[in-house]
Amino acid sequence: MLVFVVLLYAFIVVFELLPMIKKSRRKDFWIYLIGLAASFVVAVLIGLDVRLPSPSKAIKNIVLMLTGD
């Protein structure tokens, strides 16, 4: 599972990030890199079966709090 995640990101780095270093502006590149790094961290955590906070659960708690269910 983890191997798959790492392979996928290696694939993305090779096919998208490297061409981007030569082509794009610095700002685009940095934003892309930060986004990719964040998603990589989350993907690795998912691959390691870590239980991550769910946005839907947070929204559910807010909504139920407001409607007093």
Q: Rule CB under 8 A: which residues touch another protein?
A: 1, 4, 8, 12, 16, 20, 24-25, 27-28, 31-32, 34-36, 38-39, 42-43, 46-47, 52-56, 59-60, 63-64, 66-67, 69
Residue type, 18: L
- Cα distances from 64 to residues 9, 29, 52, 55, 56, in angstroms, run 38, 41, 21, 14, 12
Q: How far is the CB of 14 from another protein (least distance, A)?
A: 13
Q: What's the full length of the chain, in residues?
A: 69
Tell me the closest approach of the beta carbon of residue 62 to another protein, in angstroms.
8
